[in-house]
């Protein structure tokens, strides 16, 4: 007798999050928004609110994306299954750092991170239309001092442009990282320990 594994929707276009879900054997379908993940849907406004701290910000976005994703499941009359969403951002000196706006912004971000320790927060949220739950992974990453040549070469690869903090720890930026404290998968964009725990709350067995 064949056992049919339950599925979820992943409200993200991130190839890294897809890879991480596959790593722990989660069956999923990608649920896309009109303009991708960021900014163009009225119910997914990613602008920080006045005085909002980074933990509240990242969790609010993950919850908003999960709930917006579930609304799309209902609007589109898709098969009813839970929606998993995530958001990753960096914090340095109280400043929220998301994806770079352009090449110059990516260079500026990397200069700020050079030789310093920053926080990487990833919030995940899961909604089944009746209940929504969330949690946060909070890690620290220390970069070695970067030269202007390091920054120029890395930005020229194009890798920083779609990533929070203008780098991907699983990519070429790994050579910049002196130390991490916390969740490697959380720094990548989907903390697997917290994801597994959240799925178990909703009845999934991994």
pLDDT per position in the chain (206 positions), as tens?
Answer: 444 568 999 999 899 999 999 999 999 999 986 644 443 345 567 777 778 899 999 999 999 999 999 999 999 999 999 999 999 999 999 999 999 999 999 999 999 999 999 999 999 999 999 999 999 999 999 999 999 999 999 999 999 999 999 999 999 999 999 999 999 999 999 999 999 999 999 999 88
Is the residue at 117 inside a domain? yes
176 lies in some domain: yes
Residues forming the active site: 87
Q: How many domains does the chain have?
A: 1
Number of DSSP helices (H) and strands (E) in the chain, helices first: 6, 7
Q: Is there a domain that residue 1 lies in?
A: no
Instruction: Determine, yes or no, domain membership for 20.
Output: yes
**Site of tokens 């120029």:** 152
The answer to whether 101 and 38 have CB atoms below 8 angstroms apart is no
What's the burial of 165, exposed, middle or buried (CB within 10 Å: 0-12/13-18/19+)? buried
Question: Residue 113: inside a domain, yes or no?
Answer: yes
**What range does the domain containing 168 cover?**
7-201
User: In whole angstroms, what is the distance from residue 61 CA to residue 140 CA?
Assistant: 20
Q: Which of 80, 52, 49, 85 is nearest to 67 (CA)?
A: 85
- CATH number of the domain bearing residue 166: 3.90.950.10
pTM over 0.85: yes
Q: Any idea how long the chain is?
A: 206
For residue 206, is it within any domain? no
């Amino acid at each position: 007798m064949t056992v049919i594994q339950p599925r979820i929707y992943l409200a993200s276009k991130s190839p890294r999050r897809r890879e991480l879900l596959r790593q722990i054997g989660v069956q999923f379908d990608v649920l896309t928004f009109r303009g991708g993940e960021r900014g163009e849907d009225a119910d997914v406004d990613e602008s920080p609110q006045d005085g909002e701290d980074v933990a509240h910000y990242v969790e609010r976005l993950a919850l908003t994306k999960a709930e917006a994703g579930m609304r799309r499941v209902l609007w589109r009359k898709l098969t009813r299954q839970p929606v998993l969403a995530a958001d990753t951002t960096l914090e340095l000196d109280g400043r929220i750092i998301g994806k770079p706006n352009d090449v110059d912004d990516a260079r500026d971000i990397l200069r700020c991170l050079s030789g310093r320790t920053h926080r990487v927060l990833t919030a995940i949220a899961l909604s089944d239309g009746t209940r929504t739950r969330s949690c946060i992974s909070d890690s620290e990453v220390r970069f070695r001092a970067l030269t202007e040549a390091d920054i120029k070469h890395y930005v020229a690869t194009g890798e920083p442009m779609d990533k929070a903090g203008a780098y991907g720890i699983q990519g070429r930026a790994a050579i910049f990282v002196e130390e991490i404290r916390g969740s490697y998968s959380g720094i990548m964009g989907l903390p697997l320990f917290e994801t597994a725990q959240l799925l178990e709350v909703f009845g999934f067995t991994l």
